[in-house]
Chains A and B, each alone.
Chain A
Amino acid sequence: DAGVIQSPRHEVTEMGQEVTLRCKPISGHDYLFWYRQTMMRGLELLIYFNNNVPIDDSGMPEDRFSAKMPNASFSTLKIQPSEPRDSAVYFCASSLGAIVNTEAFFGQGTRLTVV
């Protein structure tokens, strides 16, 4: 398996624009997580899905952020409208089973810059 695949790797956008980040989890994994990493706040869990269903979105910072998982092999994280403070590296991760029992596999991340 190629691992967790994220696209794009880098995204530069202007404030106010819509940004869509994409993730393909490892085939067969039933949990998917979105994290955001910044120097100030470290790694923050934004939302996670189980079998394509959002379970906990308490980490989503604002209504400008939304995430979907239309099927087992694809998830998106959308920011609309984007702001400079959204600049960060966004990671997608997946796991086979609950994280209380196993490890997470991370993608390479999307570095988002909002100017």
Chain B
Amino acid sequence: SQQGEEDPQALSIQEGENATMNCSYKTSINNLQWYRQNSGRGLVHLILIRSNEREKHSGRLRVTLDTSKKSSSLLITASRAADTASYFCATALYGNKLVFGAGTILRVKS
């Protein structure tokens, strides 16, 4: 069964707007990672946030983690058409397993 569940399943926004995707998980984690997958391609790592961190930034990406609520969010600011992709959260469980959620499909319209 999947550990993480993303919300929403799909998101359509205009270029320049911000996009927020949420992820909830079930069990204790060591870290949480976000990946992007362009259509027909492999997954690309975006950002890793450890269980003792609350917020992390990378360029136009901002990730938050709330371990008490077992949830994380990914914010993409000033979105571009090139950000159109599927975004997955993945939880690194003790035992060295990286378990992925179902993903959010983001479409940025130009």
A binds B: yes
Q: Check B96 against A48 for contact (C-beta < 8 Å).
A: yes
A108 to chain B, nearest CB (A): 5
Q: How far is the CA of A45 from the CA of B100 in the complex (A)?
A: 9
Known: A42-B102, A43-B88, A108-B42. A103 touches B97 (CB 8 A): no
Contact with B along A18-56 (1 / 0, CB 8 A): 000000000000010101000000110100101000011
Report the interface size class on chain A: 20 to 34
Cβ–Cβ contact A42 & B43, under 8 A: no
B interface residue count range (under 10 / 10 to 19 / 20 to 34 / 35 or more): 20 to 34
Residue pair B44, A106 in contact (C-beta under 8 Å): yes
| Residues of B contacting A50 in the complex (Cβ-Cβ under 8 angstroms) | 96
Q: Is the interface of A mostly helix, strand, loop or mixed?
A: strand
Asked if B48 is an interface residue, CB under 8 A from chain A, the answer is yes
Contact with B along A39-82 (1 / 0, CB 8 A): 00011010010100001100000000000000000000000000
B95 within 8 A of partner (CB): yes
Contacts A42-B2, A42-B101; is A91 near B42 (CB within 8 Å)? yes
Leading 4 A-B pairs by shortest Cβ distance: A106-B42, A100-B30, A43-B100, A103-B45
8 additional contacts (CB under 8 A) given A43-B43, A48-B97: A42-B2, A43-B88, A43-B100, A91-B42, A100-B30, A100-B92, A100-B96, A102-B48
11 contacts between A and B (CB under 8 A): A35-B100, A42-B101, A42-B102, A43-B100, A45-B98, A45-B99, A99-B92, A102-B48, A106-B35, A106-B42, A109-B41
